Structure 1
């Protein structure tokens, strides 16, 4: 079982570890966010098109016997 650390020491450790993190710049964050939106848009368009195409093909198959 882990030993208990008092809250003050814990917060000091958290602050020390947080200072070691390399944070992205505002520019890097903006570019990454825009790239995520672009890729989500492409994926949404692709899956919409694939769904429409498969729906059309299935309607052709199912209407053959009608």
Structure 2
């Protein structure tokens, strides 16, 4: 069972651990954000195109008998 901890001690430990984190620079953050938006755009464009193509092909196959 966990022992009780003083809230002040806990906050000191949290602060000490936070100081150990390597935070990204503003430039790295901006570049990563732009890359995520670009990849999301390309994925959306790809899936839109694939959906349109499959819709066209299925429409051609199903309308053959008419």
Task: Report the TM-score when normalising by structure 2.
Answer: 0.92
| Structure 2 alignment gaps of length 5 or more | none
Superposed displacement of residue 4, structure 1: 2.2
Aligned residue in 2 for 1:25: 25
Structure 1 segments of 4+ aligned residues over 3 angstroms from their partners: none
Aligned residue in 2 for 1:9: 9
Q: How many corresponding residue pairs?
A: 66
Superposed displacement of residue 9, structure 1: 1.3
Find the residue that maps to 2:39 and give its secondary structure: helix
Q: CA RMSD in A?
A: 0.9
| Structure 1 alignment gaps of length 5 or more | none
Q: Structure 2: how far apart are the matches of 1:63 and 1:42?
A: 31
Q: Structure 2: how far apart are the matches of 1:57 and 1:22?
A: 51
Task: Report the TM-score when normalising by structure 1.
Answer: 0.92
